[in-house]
Chains A and B, each alone.
Chain A
Amino acid sequence: MATQFIGEHLRPGQLGHFLIIASFVASLFSTFTYFMAARTELKDPEGSRSWLRMARGSFMIHTAAIISIFVTLFYVITHHLFEYHYAWEHSSILLPGKYLLACFWEGQEGSFMLWIFWHCILGLVVMGTAKGLETRVMTFVSLVQVCLGTMIMGIYFGQDIQVGSNPFILLRHSMQAAPIFQMANYMDFIRDGNGLNVSLQNYWMVIHPPILFLGFASSLIPFAYCLAALWKGDYKDFVKPTIAWALLNGAVLGTGIMMGGAWAYESLNFGGYWAWDPVENASLVPWLTLIAGLHTLLVYRSTRRALKLTFFLLILTHLLVWYSTFLTRTGILGKTSVHAFTGDGTALTYHLLGVIALLAIISVGLFQWRRKGIPGIKTEEATLSREFWMFIGSVVLFLSAVQIAISTSIPIWAPLAKWITGKEFAPPVDPMHHYNNIQVWIAIVTGILSATILYMKFKQTESGTLGKRLGITALIAIAMAGFIAWGQHIVIWQYDTMLFAACYGIVANIYYGIVIQKLKFKKLGPSVAHFGFATVLLGILLSSYNKHTISFNNTGVEFDLKKTVAENTKENRENETLFFGVPVAMGDYFATYIGDSDVAGKDKRVYYKVLFERKDLLSQKASERFMLYPDAFINPKGQQGLSSNPSTKHYWNKDVFTYINVAMDNTKEDTSSYRSTIVNKPGDTVFLNNAYMIFKGLSKEVSDKRYTPEPGDLPIRATLEVHDLKGDVTELNPLYILRNKEYVVRLEDTLPSVGVYVRFANLTVHSQDSVSADIMTKQTDPKEKYIVLKALVFPYINVLWIGVMIMVLGFFISLGDQLTRKSKKGDTLIS
């Protein structure tokens, strides 16, 4: 007989299961009806309209079901229904409300949900705007929704093959083997969930995934428009909406990628914003092909060239989004990435490969079928034309994507390489070097092209004016680059060239925007975006080239004299131990660990106070002081060690970036003992390890928050002045209370910055005005209290962030222009 379980809430799960099936069926029906509406469009307009009505209805039902799944799953999480595996795995009772949303997309199923949700929203917009292409575009949108729907189905075929993973699965179903689930009242024992990984508990986890997924999702629309255009054989109407969607896609995905970088930089201790990690690469590659495709589409709009390449690039972009999902979700990157993956096993691997294959076959099939009819122009373009160089720029971006994709996909091709060479290939020992060596050339070429092409006209450019304008720009850029290279000591010639390209881009786009476009806001999109891009290049160069560790440490190690300084430096000795109260030189600063503060909560989070002082070497006076508070969770979730978050001091021209690698566990028992010093009169001194105290006297006047007087009390207060090494003076007041003449209550006073605990005892009255007391002090041994800190300096990192914002702004200006534009003379396509 089946056990009747007690205390479960099964309704939300049943509703969730039903909604998942409903949304899947609705998307399937929507695909079919949209397909039929498209097929009958010409032959039977009346029939087509009724198919269309059904198709729209079912897509709306699909959307409503998806939103309801969202709400239901959110209900399960916010009501802490831990009988559901998803809630148990990703949330916990004490988790602050704002992170409950983050729990939603921490898991595989939730992030697929987020992706599906965005497709629904974008699908509704397409439904309202696509006009003659709606049936075809929406056929592909619905088809992709079907594919994604299978990801959250959780259907079993036989014992072992599971298709998709259902977010509403019960805990007792997901772990059937565990003996606890034999008990009917098992819910009495499951009081709390596992909670959100502490390193994900910050606001980035709340905002970054929705934006990144909107970026991924919006790649679907240009993809669907391209396939729709091929299907219909209509190569005019798709251009305008596809440009608009590609612009949106570029802006959002670009924002998402750089937000990931900012997250990594600001609150994860990866030690930077970009590391060519596979996860980062996987989202950069589709962005590159998208930008390339956007530019070839612009070429097509003005010259009717490059259409085939446009189709190839925009279709590829969406397939690459799926491929990046494949790389990051299946655990195939396990050995090569710093990100933690939930390897969901082979079922998901084949499932995703199946979807990619399906979409690829449809795309290639349509393309081959229409191949002959795709318009193109036989004649050769002029060398001094915008289209010629835009085309080349796009190819360069594509090649950049190819290189990154090949290097990132090493786990994919390693088995083949092993079969050929017999060696087991591994990622580069120094990935930064590996990628930078090639990508620096991409940066140079695209930097220069992105500025130069704006000066050219489509079809033919007058060479005299062009030469003059570009010559002046180049001269200014050389002066600017020379100045920066000299100031920043940039000596490697490749990077000097890149610096020139960035400066050239900045100068040329400012000049173009002001002089040629006369600051007409609507038309400024391209120059603003390209200016932003050049600024990003400059920011990357400045912040990475002179990024350096200031917590460089050699204590306790013999410097190996056989090696050069550079080789020794390479040995990664980048941690520095800071003992409590002892200043340590770090770059221009002296850093001192002066205290810590706990924050109440289940996971113990400790903020470490580190004082940074810049000292004048001659006068030894601090010319600048600031505090940093890197924090860490000590032993989170019963793990050993800590999980830390950085703290950064921002200057306008650089950041000082610190994080904790090792810290003492303060919960350990205090073992040091008290030391006593007898004082006889005011003015007597008590010496401490790192300070001294002057005894000021005793008093019966006691008003102290810590002490509540009781009848029969005789309270006595001692006054002690602590003088620390910095010259600061603090007063301490330990209390001694004789209660009912029977026993003594002692109240300690402490000074954390010196690490001292003071109490007093053994009051002896010698005469009217001579009383001696035993001042008992205890100090935490400074050698026992320490943190291990890593500190880095990133110069001019703000240039990068500002560049990204300007670039995204440029996308949106272009998008605004695109949405409001009327047909223009230059466009050959508008009839």
Chain B
Amino acid sequence: MKKMHIVLLILVVASIAAIVSVFGSFSTYETFTSAGREPGKKYYVIGNLQKDKDMVYDPVKDPNHFIFYAKDKAGNVNKVIFNGEKPRDIEKSEQIVMMGYEDGGTFHCSRIQMKCPSKYKKDMVAQGSSS
């Protein structure tokens, strides 16, 4: 066996080991219920905004506290506290990906990604026509 082969073997083994070792840091998509089975552990939950419930954001009191309600894929509605500012256009979002942990019936969220409908909606043309 050549030296080069030995070195390459070591590199490949090391990288497989490295990839496997960080594999645990991949998260999973959960529902509020399944995330609640391990309170405090961070997961992703996909859901959508419950527009009929109140959203609370008062930067005068606390700029890092935004409360809203979301319904997950299983249909459960849960209170969500986001430690940040109210994201722009959350009212229009179709889907919200929330990263955080469930604790005591509340989802504590530290990152939000939203999927908004295409910026260019057909009704925008309709609006233009009425003017």
Contacts and interface: CB of A to CB of B under 8 A. Distances in A.
Interface string A633-670: 00001011111000000000000000001100000000
Interface residues of A, number: 70
A335 B27 contact: no
Interface in A415-462: 423-430, 433-434, 437-438, 441
A377 to B, nearest CB: 12
A118 to B, nearest CB: 28
Q: Chain B: interface residue count, which band?
A: 35 or more
B84 to A, nearest CB: 6
A575 B63 contact: yes
A178 interface: yes
Interface string B98-110: 0100000000101
A190 B11 contact: no
B65 to A, nearest CB: 7
A575 B27 contact: no
A577 B60 contact: yes
A396 interface: yes
B95 to A, nearest CB: 8
Contacts of B8: 392, 395
A402 interface: yes
A429 to B, nearest CB: 4
A378 to B, nearest CB: 10
Contact of A396 (B11, B113, B129): B11
B129 A189 contact: yes
A779 B85 CA distance: 27
Q: Which of B15, B61, B124 has its CB near the most chain A CB atoms (within 10 A)?
A: B15
A134 interface: no
Contact of B19 (A175, A189, A406, A572): A406
A238 B22 CA distance: 40
Interface in A118-175: 171, 175
Contacts of B111: 572
Nearest to A575: B63
A426 B29 contact: yes
B38 interface: no
Interface in B56-90: 59-65, 83-89
B18 A573 contact: no
Contacts of A388: 3-4
Among B8, B11, B59, B86, the one with the most A-chain Cβ atoms within 10 Å of its Cβ is B59
Contacts of A171: 125
B25 to A, nearest CB: 4
Nearest to B64: A573
Interface string A165-198: 0000001000101111001001001110010010
Contact of A342 (B19, B85, B113, B118): B118
A180 B126 contact: yes
Nearest to A180: B129
A222 B106 CA distance: 55
A334 B94 CA distance: 12
A492 to B, nearest CB: 16
B78 to A, nearest CB: 18
Given A577-B63, A661-B85, A179 B126 contact: yes
Interface in A7-39: none
B28 A573 contact: no
Contacts of B63: 553, 575-577, 661-662, 788
Contacts of A603: none
A608 interface: no
Contacts of B99: 429
Given A190-B125, A194-B120, A639-B88, A556 B65 contact: yes
A423 B61 CA distance: 40
A557 B63 CA distance: 10
A769 interface: no
Nearest to B88: A641
Nearest to A188: B129
A127 B106 CA distance: 65
Contacts of A639: 88-89, 92
A266 interface: no
Given A180-B129, A661-B63, A437 B22 contact: yes
A426 B28 contact: yes
A763 interface: no
A583 B61 CA distance: 16
A571 B4 contact: no
Contacts, number: 160
A809 interface: no
Contacts of A104: none
Contacts of B91: 640
B64 A429 contact: no
Interface string A339-375: 0101000000000000000000000000000000000
A334 B28 CA distance: 16
A338 B87 CA distance: 13
B19 A438 contact: yes
Most buried by A among B3, B12, B26, B84: B26
Contacts of A335: 46, 97, 113, 115
Nearest to B11: A395
Contact of A572 (B84, B86, B88): B84
A194 B121 CA distance: 10
- Looking at B28, B64, B87, B120, the one whose CB has the most chain A CB atoms below 10 A away is B64
B122 interface: yes
Interface string A560-580: 000000000011111111010
A465 interface: no
A381 interface: yes
Given A571-B83, A642-B88, A403 B15 contact: yes
A391 interface: yes
A20 to B, nearest CB: 22
B128 A429 contact: no
A695 interface: no
Interface string B21-37: 01001111110000000
B26 A189 contact: no
Contacts of A783: 60
A434 B25 contact: yes
A596 interface: no
Given A433-B25, A639-B88, 19 more contacts: A189-B128, A189-B129, A191-B128, A342-B118, A392-B4, A395-B11, A410-B26, A423-B28, A429-B27, A438-B19, A553-B63, A556-B62, A577-B62, A640-B88, A640-B89, A642-B88, A661-B63, A661-B84, A788-B85
21 contacts: A178-B125, A180-B126, A186-B129, A189-B129, A189-B131, A391-B4, A406-B19, A410-B26, A428-B25, A553-B62, A555-B61, A557-B65, A572-B83, A572-B84, A572-B110, A574-B84, A575-B63, A639-B92, A640-B91, A786-B60, A788-B85
Interface of A: 89, 171, 175, 177-180, 183, 186, 189-191, 194, 197, 334-335, 338, 340, 342, 380-381, 383, 388, 391-392, 395-396, 399, 402-403, 406-407, 410, 423-430, 433-434, 437-438, 441, 553, 555-557, 570-577, 579, 637, 639-643, 661-662, 783, 786, 788
